[in-house]
Amino acid sequence: MRWHRQILLVAVLFGAVICRAGTANDYFKVGLEMSGAGQLPEAAMAFEKSAQMQPASGTLVNLGIAEWRRGRAGAAILAWEKARWIDPFDSRAGADLKFARTAAQVDEPELKWFETASTWLPPNAWAWLAGASLWLAVGLLVLPGIFRRRKAGWHSPLAALAFGIFLFTLTANVGVVSRTQIGFVLKKNAPLLLTPTRTGEVISTLTAGEPARQLRSRGNFLFIRTQTESGWIGRDAFGLVGD
């Protein structure tokens, strides 16, 4: 009886995952059709829903293309950055970003060394690698003793290597966390305000697609630092890569 319940639960969960994937795929297909028909706002909406249900770099690349074609450079750059976040090896996202930044005349975000290192692999991969390397090092050091086996000559060097990899993945994981605060200006000529208020004094206006780091938030405003200045921006005018 107990086994039956467990099998049923697993079946339900599996079904839910399949349904979810099915819906995400449906939205993706709708997005492609709409994009082909030139209905770009609808296409962007469909791709966005698909990406929300099942984040995938391909969906995000298509979302970026739809946004770019409808003249929303900021949203397009954010979508392609998200695609690269999920899959750093996606060459289409990289090429699109390069083209968009040249056309919109905006810079790439400035990354610190550990953030640059974190872009070499997808964020999840760094977490898995950290876990695996740590357990490998611990296993190599502890398991021979537990199983009363003699330590081979390669055990210690391999454990040291695994521990070294673990230490490196720690910095990369810090980079991943730090990169979640990087975002992009979504709206054209978005005002950068001195105070987090609707009538705040405008320090300057930002270009769509300009990178910035979110430092803190208050109400409907985010305090961001661009490469040249800092100030408050409305939540609706700024999108984080890590969201």
Residues in contact with another protein by CB under 8 A are 194-201, 223
Write down the least CB distance from residue 208 to another protein, Å: 25
Buried b (16+ CB within 10 A) or exposed e, 99-134: ebbeebebeebebeebbebbbebbbeebeebbeebb
Write down the least CB distance from residue 203 to another protein, Å: 8
Indicate the burial class of 243 (C-beta count within 10 angstroms; 0-12, 13-18, 19 or more). Answer: exposed
Residue in the structure block whose two tokens are 């697993």: 10
> Is the CB of 56 or the CB of 193 nearer to another protein?
193
Write down the least CB distance from residue 181 to another protein, Å: 17
From the list 168, 91, 93, 94, the residue with the least C-alpha distance to 126 is 168
> Is the CB of 168 or the CB of 223 nearer to another protein?
223
Write down the least CB distance from residue 238 to another protein, Å: 17
> Is the CB of 163 or the CB of 223 nearer to another protein?
223
> Is the CB of 169 or the CB of 214 nearer to another protein?
214
What token pair was written down for 216?
Answer: 């803190």
Query: Percent helix, strand, coil in the chain (nearest 5)?
Result: 60, 15, 25
Write down the least CB distance from residue 222 to another protein, Å: 13
> Is the CB of 112 or the CB of 198 nearer to another protein?
198
Write the single-letter amino acid at 125.
A
> Is the CB of 195 or the CB of 205 nearer to another protein?
195
Indicate the burial class of 8 (C-beta count within 10 angstroms; 0-12, 13-18, 19 or more). Answer: exposed
Distance (Å, whole) CA 25 – CA 47: 10
Distance (Å, whole) CA 48 – CA 63: 7
Write down the least CB distance from residue 161 to another protein, Å: 46
